[in-house]
Structure 1
Amino acid sequence: MTAIPRKSGARGSAIALWCVLAAVVIVAVVAWVNHNYVRVERTVKLPRVGEARSNPLFALKVALVKDGVVVNARRNLQLFPDRDEPAVPLGARDTVVLYNDPRTLQPREVTRLLSWVEGGGHLVMRTPSDGIFTRGRLQGAPLLEALELAPKRQNEHAGCQTYLHANSADDDDPGGPAEASRASVHEHVMFCGGQRFTLAGANPVHSWGDLRAGYVFARIARGRGSVDVLSDLALMSSDDLESRADQEFTRQLLAPNYRAGTIHLVYAVQMPSLWRTLVERSWMAWAPLLLAFAAWLWLRMQRFGPRLPAPADERRSLLEHIMASGEHAYRYGYAHLLYDAVREAFLARLRRRDPQAAALTGAPQMALLQARFPDVPAAQIRDALMAPFANDHASFRSRIATLIRLRNRL
């Protein structure tokens, strides 16, 4: 036998050609991507975890600790002991930053807090963002009443305040290296959404704003201490503290007792309700469920009106006449005639559907009828084929109904 040589040379040339074409395509795609796209770096902020997520003053706490200040951050002011936690003592030169709503303080806590301020403490607080006004005063705010402050109504806000601060060479200056080499003054907008207030009887040491539009900041001397009231403390939050202007203003607020004692950062203790959280953050879950529930109710609800069209007026009159004739015959003792008519109608249809059963009588007929109507008891069929006794209304109605039902099923 002679072996047939394989064309290995042609096959190898084809594979090499395909490899070259694939390499050319890959090189062309890489060159096109490098020509049309530029590799850039992008900073993505990761979601906060731990205390940074629950404490809005976490960035301020870290900055103060790095600056050598003793900081105590907690959710409650805790001036009085309770069953779970002991009272937190306040030093004579301490500072309390009350970030949460001052209306959460009880009258006895307000008395203790202001007594501590008169001994040399420094209190930083804000006005409530909303509330119910009665005769120009905010209800449920004993601390504001003790300081003789009256928040302005929301429609009386006078816009934002402009804060001038100096940018150093370390800041990002839009003017370029030449401008960044020297300090420049920049404007920073603050207190755009806060609740302004008026000074009913207090005489502030420092203030920012006016009596007509309301104040956004006031430092009120009280004994040997002071109280700083601001329309908003968002500048101290972790989101806004990245701005140099907010850092400078926060440092000025904490200046009276800075490094002289402990700074107590009391952040928001009130939590949003469960229903509000579900409405605002879980709508992607409950909205489809609500639509599905509405669709299910639409499918299951009762339809109004008859499913079949009403009979014509002439037919309805005939039916009413027949019903009246039957009631008249039954009332005057001719019930046996009505029964005979219904029984004869049943037997007539039975003769058309099952002539054998109609021709028989007695037990054989009962056996065939029981086989045709297995769900109807034999005794009920037997009674239906027998005339009822006179004046036995229940038996009459029962046998008439059974005969009509059996006739409709034939």
Structure 2
Amino acid sequence: MSRRRQWLLGSALMLGLALFGLYLLSRIQPYEETLEHGPAPEAQANPYLAAEHFLRQQGLQVQRSADLRLLASLPSAGQTLLLLGDRQRMSPRQVERLLAWTAKGGHLVFVAERLWDEDEGKSGDLLLDSLGLQQYQSDALDQSDDEAEEPEAAASAYPELTQLYLENEDAPAYFGFDTAFHLYDADNRAHVWANSAAATHLVQLYHGDGLVSVLSDAWIWQNDRIADYDNAWLLWYLAQDSAVTLLYHAKRDGLFSLLLRHFPQALLALVLLLGLGLWRVGMRQGPLQAPASPSRRQLQEHLRGSADFLLRRSGQHSLLQGLQEDIQRRARHRHPGFERLGVTEQWQLLARLTRLPSRAISQAMRPLPNQRLSAVDFTRQVAHLQTLRNAL
């Protein structure tokens, strides 16, 4: 093919590709698509992250803690402590310190964790029992008593929502508490409470110079619910004009998960290195010894192996008794009626037949002892019996 023809063919191909590209561009329609990646890792690890951001936006000072050791340095006046974590391991000493901190002017907000046990006369929630508060399941309450105590809530247009009435306000605030639980003020100390149509979910009472607010649940302040109804407003209302400390255990990634996320190649190399190390330690030292060839084995080895097996399986007495029986069988063959003779006469006959001394006969045919023989005595006894048997 001439150079001119190659140039023309290449130009035609380039022109065709350009025309095809223009056609594709004319058919492309731009569009926008929003991809939902879900909550950020910080929000997944911290269920109250939105609550922290909301309080900071209201101009409040907010800090987070994971245990009660901060009480030693936390002032009471002008402080609100939101105890939202699990309190099952809280000791009576810790409860006393927490209530003493509150009595000095602090505001304690916590969640009731246990149901009241009528038989034991307590719930097991040390904070709840110390304040004379009791928690029940709403479906276990007497409906007539509920209606008598809460006429305004029963007449509400939103019976599933919890309502809080404030002075100088025409309409209540609404919260999304779980209506399955009910708080009861057994000592009649509460001065503020919030009810749904079925139960009470917020109780507030004075404790010394401080204030205690008890909730039936704190789910209304988690990331996915704080924006519902007036849930965020209630958090601000309880914490207003104070510094806030949130006490709970946020989920933290462990060391292995962090290494797996950021250094997967290093972990893979470490696993391979450990595997090679174990393989190296487990290697045999020296070449493998090949099994002996079956054609090499002699009859003597088979006999020795069979004897060792019988000795381990049946014991010494079985082998010695077998030899004595073999001698008696040969004696009966050479002298019919041998079995009807006495022991002394049998031994005398064996001495005549074998021309062995009576002492050798007695040593070979004497009754076997009950105890196990030593290796030397066993070998000597077998030799006596074989000598006697070979002589018949």
Query: TM-score when scaled to structure 1?
Result: 0.49
Aligned to 2:124: 140
Is the alpha carbon distance of 1:380 and 1:105 closer, same or farther for their aligned partners in structure 2, counting shifts above 3 Å? Answer: closer
Is the alpha carbon distance of 1:394 and 1:71 closer, same or farther for their aligned partners in structure 2, counting shifts above 3 Å? Answer: farther
Matched, 1:265 2:246: yes
Is the alpha carbon distance of 1:146 and 1:92 closer, same or farther for their aligned partners in structure 2, counting shifts above 3 Å? Answer: same
Q: How big is the shift at 1:156?
A: 4.8
Distance across 2 between alignment mates of 1:382 and 1:118 = 95
Note if contact 1:194-1:232 (Cα within 8 Å) is conserved in structure 2: no
Matched, 1:96 2:81: yes
Q: How big is the shift at 1:54?
A: 5.0
Aligned pairs for 1:280-299 within 5 A: none
Is the alpha carbon distance of 1:383 and 1:254 closer, same or farther for their aligned partners in structure 2, counting shifts above 3 Å? Answer: closer
Aligned pairs for 1:4-403 within 5 A: 6-34=1-29, 38-42=31-35, 44-45=37-38, 47-49=40-42, 55-78=46-69, 87-128=72-113, 133=117, 135=119, 139-153=123-137, 156=140, 160-161=160-161, 190-192=176-178, 195-209=181-195, 213-242=198-227, 245-255=230-240, 258-259=241-242, 262-268=243-249, 373-380=294-301, 391-392=322-323
Q: How big is the shift at 1:41?
A: 4.2
Distance across 2 between alignment mates of 1:383 and 1:224 = 98
Structure of greater Rg: 2
Q: Deviations over 1:6-45 (max 9, x none)?
A: 43444333333333333333333344341xx612344645
Q: How big is the shift at 1:147?
A: 1.8
Q: Deviations over 1:233-292 (max 9, x none)?
A: 12333444455733212111223xx23xx3221113899xxxxxxxxxxxxxxxxxxxxx
* 2:237 aligned counterpart, secondary structure: helix
Is the alpha carbon distance of 1:113 and 1:394 closer, same or farther for their aligned partners in structure 2, counting shifts above 3 Å? Answer: farther
Note if contact 2:205-2:212 (Cα within 8 Å) is conserved in structure 1: yes
- Structure 2 residues not aligned, in runs of 5+: 144-158, 165-170, 253-291, 306-318, 327-392
Aligned to 1:173: none
Letter in structure 2 aligned against 1:153? Q
Is the alpha carbon distance of 1:248 and 1:11 closer, same or farther for their aligned partners in structure 2, counting shifts above 3 Å? Answer: same
- Structure 1 residues not aligned, in runs of 5+: 1-5, 81-86, 165-184, 272-370, 396-410
Q: Deviations over 1:75-117 (max 9, x none)?
A: 112277xxxxxx3333233211101134443222222322333
* 2:78 aligned counterpart, secondary structure: coil
Q: CA RMSD in A?
A: 4.4
Query: TM-score when scaled to structure 2?
Result: 0.51
Is the alpha carbon distance of 1:206 and 1:163 closer, same or farther for their aligned partners in structure 2, counting shifts above 3 Å? Answer: closer
Distance across 2 between alignment mates of 1:205 and 1:78 = 30
Q: How big is the shift at 1:193?
A: 7.2
198-207 or 65-74: bigger deviation: 65-74
Letter in structure 2 aligned against 1:47? A
Letter in structure 2 aligned against 1:78? R
Is the alpha carbon distance of 1:268 and 1:131 closer, same or farther for their aligned partners in structure 2, counting shifts above 3 Å? Answer: farther
Is the alpha carbon distance of 1:146 and 1:393 closer, same or farther for their aligned partners in structure 2, counting shifts above 3 Å? Answer: farther
Q: Report how many residues are paired.
A: 253
Note if contact 1:160-1:189 (Cα within 8 Å) is conserved in structure 2: no
Percent of aligned positions that are identical: 19
